[in-house]
């Protein structure tokens, strides 16, 4: 392994040149197997690798993440897909390994945001996973290893320029981390928090049952927001993130964003959406965009004209009432917040998107009002005492 990785530029072309190296002069734990990763690629790769590594450690399941601009668009573990989700993810005829299933779930959380993603995979990349990756618009991938045939499949992406990184799974960066901002060095202990049984110990609501599936989903949501730019809130169901609200200045806006994405995720499984007839030759990304416009309430006339051209037969759009009836079937959703809820408004919005299980730091002056709202909705809420800001 080399001790330095040179890049053409940093975050922007005028920030040139750029490089990656270790301050102690040691070798990098990374190998470039194909392509030339950028500065932003490496930020996504190193953050997303930590996420999938920790999901693997805590849940003992293959894990995947789809990253964009240093936050996950989706994250998931290998929970089998039903036929409805296979259809929603355009994977009816795909042969799926557990790792491929995890990536399909991660990519399917927010396919618009995942367009051109950086992929992180917890396990050695197998052929089914490589075939799923080959069909998607993606910038690159990081994993601890690659089967020979899978690597050859991936090397052909993007006319041979697909960025492929292999990371040493045993690499330990040490307990301290250091960054420099405006010429000043900032040092802190690395965030080594991992959700364990103690994380769920303080249930503060009247309802107290927390089934294993809910614990799993709360772990997925919690580790996803651990690597999401703060403020952040994540919703998860069936082992995958279904909505992540990142980088908002107010807590309720995080919830609104995450819940709106979860709503779209669920609406994409509506029978009318699954029955849409697309124009022959329409690419997968174009179908995803067409579905998004089909489900939007505020599409412009120009957007609708472009939208109508996507279909072999122009479909009748879902009414607000039909959408609401379908969304009422979304239940059992887990929500994790990277800090406490200062007001009950976050729970009021979360409930409309099927949230039943909540973990938050607690410690607000209005904890009693937030707990009362959770009781009103029959939620189970844990006050973990753990804040997970990520900047």
Residues serving a catalytic function are 68-69, 231, 391
Q: How many CB atoms within 10 Å of residue 180?
A: 9
**The tokens of 65 are what?**
């993440």
List Cβ neighbours of 152 (8 Å cut-off, separation of 6 or more): none
What is the Cα–Cα distance from 256 to 263, expressed in whole angstroms? Answer: 10
Q: Alpha-carbon distance 283 to 61, whole Å?
A: 32
Work out the number of other CB atoms within 10 angstroms of the CB of residue 65. 33
Paired tokens of 222: 């919690």
Asked whether 293 and 276 are in contact (CB, 8 A), the reply is: no
What is the four-CA torsion angle of 373, 377, 383, 386, rounded to 10 degrees? -100
Whole-angstrom Cα distance, residue 50 to residue 139?
Answer: 18
Length of the chain: 391
């Amino acid at each position: 392994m080399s001790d330095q990785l040179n890049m053409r530029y940093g975050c922007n072309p005028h920030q040139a040149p750029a490089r990656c190296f270790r301050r102690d002069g040691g070798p990098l734990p990374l190998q470039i197997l194909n392509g030339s990763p950028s500065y932003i690629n490496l930020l996504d790769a190193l953050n997303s690798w930590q996420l999938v590594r920790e999901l693997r450690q805590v849940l003992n399941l293959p894990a995947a993440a789809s990253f964009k601009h240093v936050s996950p668009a989706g994250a998931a573990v290998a929970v089998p897909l039903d036929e409805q989700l296979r259809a929603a993810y355009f994977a009816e005829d795909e042969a799926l390994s557990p790792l491929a299933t995890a990536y399909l779930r991660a990519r399917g959380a927010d396919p618009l945001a995942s367009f051109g993603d950086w992929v992180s995979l917890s396990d050695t990349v197998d052929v089914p996973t490589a075939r799923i990756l080959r069909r998607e618009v993606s910038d690159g991938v990081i994993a601890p290893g690659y089967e020979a045939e899978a690597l050859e499949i991936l090397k052909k992406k993007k006319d041979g320029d697909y960025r492929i990184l292999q990371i040493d799974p045993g690499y330990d960066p040490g307990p301290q981390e250091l960054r420099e901002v405006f010429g000043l060095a900032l040092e802190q202990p690395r965030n080594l928090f991992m959700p364990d049984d103690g994380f769920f110990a303080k249930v503060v609501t009247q309802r107290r049952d927390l089934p294993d599936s809910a614990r799993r989903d709360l772990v997925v949501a919690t580790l996803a927001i651990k690597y999401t730019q703060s403020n952040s809130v994540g919703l998860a169901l069936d082992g995958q993130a279904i909505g992540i609200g990142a980088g908002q200045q107010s807590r309720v806006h995080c919830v609104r964003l995450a819940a709106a994405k979860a709503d779209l995720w669920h609406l994409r499984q509506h029978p009318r959406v699954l029955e849409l007839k697309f124009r022959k030759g329409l690419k997968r990304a174009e179908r995803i965009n067409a579905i998004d416009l089909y489900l939007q309430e505020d599409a412009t006339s120009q957007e609708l004209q472009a939208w109508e051209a996507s279909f072999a037969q122009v479909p009748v759009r879902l009414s607000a009432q039909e959408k609401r009836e379908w969304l009422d079937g979304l239940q059992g959703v887990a929500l994790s917040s990277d800090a406490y809820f200062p007001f009950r408004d976050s729970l009021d919005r979360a409930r409309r998107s099927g949230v039943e299980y909540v973990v938050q730091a607690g410690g607000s002056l209005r904890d009693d009002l937030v707990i009362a709202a959770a009781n009103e909705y029959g939620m189970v809420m844990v006050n973990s005492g753990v804040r997970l800001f990520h900047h």
